[in-house]
Amino acid sequence: MKRKPDLPTDLDSLLDDLCREWGFCNRLTAADLLVEGAPLGAGEFARAVLQAEGMNSEYETSWMRRIEARFIARYGEFVSPESYAQTISETY
């Protein structure tokens, strides 16, 4: 998978993928998810996506697992702008 140059752009790309592939088309953006300096976790990401869709993550365990798995496949358990930048620089 082709990575974007920075984490916010790449997260927005992942959100676009979730919209296109699974119909999770909401107003959630990377800016909503990234708190300055704090890493973003797979579970936190999945909960935010489901919440933006008006779904309860406690009841939507199948979707939680699927969204978490997509996040982990792309970033690992956690990602921050710094760790993403390091991954990108090692790739090129």
Domains of the chain, by residue range, sit at 7-91
Helix, strand or coil, per DSSP, at residue 64: helix
Tokens linked to 53:
């869709």
Residue 32 has a CB neighbour count (10 Å cut-off) of 13
The predicted pLDDT at position 27 comes to: 93
The predicted pLDDT at position 5 comes to: 87
Q: In whole numbers, what is the pLDDT of the chain averaged over residues?
A: 92
The predicted pLDDT at position 21 comes to: 97
Instruction: Measure the CA–CA gap between 6 and 64, rounded to whole angstroms.
Output: 25
Instruction: Measure the CA–CA gap between 13 and 30, rounded to whole angstroms.
Output: 9
The predicted pLDDT at position 10 comes to: 96
Listed in sequence order, the residues at least 6 apart from 46 whose beta carbon sits closer than 8 Å to its beta carbon are 57, 63, 64, 67, 68, 71
Tokens 């935010």, residue? 48
Instruction: Measure the CA–CA gap between 23 and 3, rounded to whole angstroms.
Output: 22
Q: Which residues of the chain have pLDDT under 70?
A: 1, 91-92
